[in-house]
Amino acid sequence: MSKRKIVLFHPRTLHEKNYRYYHVPYSLLAVASALDLDRFEVILIDDNVNQKVDYRSDLLAWESELLCVGISSMIGAQIEGGLEFAKAVRSLDKNIPIVWGGPLPTMLPEETTAHWCVDIAVRGQGEITFQELVGRLEVGTSVDSIEGISYRRMDGKIIHNPARPFIDLNAFPPYTKVYPLVNLENYIWPDEHIADRTISYHSSQGCPFNCGFCCEVALWHRWWSGLSASRILDDVQYLVERFGVNGIKFYDSEFFIDRERVLAFAQGLLDRGLKIRWAASVHPRNLYRMSDESLDLLRRGGLARLLVGAESGVQQELDLIGKKINREMIFEVAKRCARHHIVICFTFVAGFPSMPSSHIDETLAFAERLHRFEPMHEAKVHFFAPYPGAPLYQLALNCGFKPPTTLEGWSRYDYYGILTPWVDRKYLPIFRQFNETHYPYIHPFHPVSEGNT
């Protein structure tokens, strides 16, 4: 007897116009890793890679054995592709359960579950929740006691079950179990900032900081869990030996929450002779606390680039968003990292609610000054985007922000543009020009061997 099929769909991330390469769909790999692959056949479709307009013929071939469809989505343009795929499922068989997960249903559970293309929404971590859900769907029993889901009853009433407690990521199986579900060669790219065979990787979830604009606060409520250094090293070694990877771009919200974990990772790369270069994000406070000895180890262990959220050149705004830093700290980390030959891309957010437009100009001037201070570093400016559940969301509403009311509306939410009524549109070309000047996409490529000398 053939196994029941579960289709996991990752819509195209159309809003990321400035990205030339795609990330490994780790959200769906994580969910798949918790399933019994001897019991279910998991089909993972990443529309970033496939870019197929009509999946109906594939769905038709799987229909008789299809247990459910899972769709992962962020807020923004991914919603559009997810809805198109869900409509194809609906047109084929209205009884096939359609399950949505990811940041969208976690931040907007009511709006997500109310849509006719959604049967069940998985909130927060999806590994155990989805595992339990497919078990219930397989035998046809009620889902009313499954933690972490929202669903619509037959009478149309939306039910939000209690949240599932957070689970340490180390309790889940390694990615190596499910890497065969995708063709990893599709996700290896020549990154002129890092190495010629670079791949994305996620080693943690959440962030304990409380930055006022950040959706991570809404998603994880300041909870954080990270894979151990040995787990990361095992995965990296697999990618190096199996696929010839020589660069890792960590997409953790904050890779340096556990400093000892990061230092053990860098030392482990040296001990295992894994000659890779890597890049990651770090809160300026955590970087500021790094000793010169630690920075030296990180550099010898392959660290090439850091993404640092400087956020604003105005102390009043830094206090508003709860960043707990000052401009002097930013200059200090810029100087020290330059001394250790570690490139920083400083990111800024402008147009905060209740703040005068003159602050935008001050932030641009500060970013320009920072770039002149250490020209090896880069700077990039974004517009403030209100996200449901983030600390500044209510203030944005009070200042006149009108959020979308439908999933279709949220699908047009593009944080590369101006989303708030108090920011003058004259800043669109100004920001574009600033970013083209201070965040060039092409950099001289440095051989990977420099990272482990």
> Do 100 and 239 belong to one domain?
no
> Do 139 and 202 belong to one domain?
no
Provide the number of structural domains found in the chain.
2
* Residue 294, in any domain of the structure: yes
User: What SS3 class is residue 78?
Assistant: helix
Chain center to CA of 340: 28
pLDDT at position 1: 58
* Residue 183, in any domain of the structure: no
CB 45 within 8 A of CB 109: no
Where the chain has pLDDT below 70, the residues are 1, 14-20, 440-453
- Provide the β-strand partners of residue 202: none
Note down the domain range covering 385.
188-452
| Cα angle 71-72-75, degrees, rounded to a multiple of 5 | 125
* Residue 422, in any domain of the structure: yes
Model confidence, pTM: 0.92
> Do 17 and 132 belong to one domain?
yes
Chain center to CA of 53: 25
> Do 96 and 245 belong to one domain?
no
pLDDT at position 387: 96
pLDDT at position 440: 62
Q: pLDDT tens digits for 239-291?
A: 999 999 999 999 999 999 999 999 999 999 999 999 999 999 999 999 999 99
> Do 217 and 357 belong to one domain?
yes
What is the identity of the amino acid at 91? Answer: S
What's the CATH number where 316 sits? 3.20.20.70
Residue finishing a domain among 112, 140, 160: 160
323 is written with which tokens?
């960043």
